[in-house]
Structure formats: structure tokens, C-alpha cells
Amino acid sequence: MKGCVFMDSISNEDDPSSLPPLCLSRDTSRFRYTFKGGLRSAIRVARVVVETVALNHSNVRWYVFGDDDTIFLPENLVKTLSKYDHELWYYIGAHSEIYEQNRLFGFGMAFGGAGFAISSSLANVLAKVFDSCLERYHHLYGSDGRVYSCLAELGVGLTHVPAFHRYVHNNSQARISTKVIYCAD
């Protein structure tokens, strides 16, 4: 497994010995964001898909993404993903545990709070068309909705896997920057 914590800025105060590798997110100011009351950072978080693929690590089978407060158990993640062929196009995750979020944003979308996985073969294709999708979906709220919409354009639906679920625990002191974890040989 390899990982990278994407941040919008890196300061000298960040202690690299206590963190996975830090990656600086690229500038996304050229993309429109028109969701009233939303956060522009949703574009930057969504674009982490492209930036992770661009790291060009060898032998990557799965790209796994989660929100800033998502915790992945590596052994469980590998066991779950090993059931699927990474050479085929897979978008794996689970719906939100909150009905209202599903009603508003879609029942076919994996929610970032629980994390989702994209097979390497699909991620490589998605990365090539993602920026044009961001242009078309400027009106959406979150990053996971943008990823879902771009995958839908490619004809890929969600493979619902209940193992991607969220345990909600409110602890404002445990917040860290957006992380991405992906599985390789």
C-alpha cells in the first residue's frame, strides 16, 4: 500500500515524520463552482483522483479515496477489493447511511465519508476526461458527486459493497487534511 495526504498548502510546521507523504494539490481556480453556499474546495478534493493517477506509481490495482476523517483498515480493504478484478472497470463503495443525503445527491453514488475505490483500469481512463467533467458539473455540491457524475458519463455504475460504511463519531480534534490511500502489489 502507498498513500498520500493531499493538502492545499504545506507549511514548515508540518512534521513529515508523523504523517504519510504529503502532496500539494494543484491550483483549481480555472474551474467554475456555482453551487450556492457550497465550498470551492470540493473541486480540489475531487481533482485528487487525477492527481493521484498522475503520480504514476507502478503496479497499482486500486485507487481508494476517502474524506479527511475516513479511516481505512488495510487488511479489510485488501480482502474486500481482492474479490474484484482490477483490470475491469469498477467503482466500489456504499450509499450514505443518511436517507436525506441519498435523496438529495443520489442513490447511485458512493459517499466519500465511507470511502470508495476505483479500479486502476477505470481510474486511468477517468483521469483523462476528468477536467472536462469538472467543467460540466460546476453546479454540483461535493467532490464525490463530481466523481460519480464523471463515472456515470463513462457508463460505470456503483458496485455497492456494504463493507464501505461509516461509523459516525463526533470528535472535532481528530480532523486531518484530505487523505487518499490506494492499494498496490
Quick one: pLDDT at residue 91? 96
Residues 145, 142: Cα–Cα separation, whole Å:
5
Nine-digit cell string for 34? 456555482
Cβ neighbors of 158 (< 8 A, separation 6 or more) are 91, 92, 93, 108, 109, 110, 148
Q: Which residues pair with 182 in a beta bridge?
A: 2, 63
Cα dist from 88 to 9, 39, 116, 160, whole Å: 35, 33, 16, 16
Please tell me whether residue 60 adopts helix, strand or coil conformation: strand
What is the pLDDT confidence band of residue 175, given thresholds at 50, 70 and 90?
very low
**Between residues 57 and 175, the one the model is more confident about:** 57
| Nearest-angstrom CA–CA distance, 108 and 151 | 11
Q: What confidence score (pLDDT) does residue 133 get? A: 95
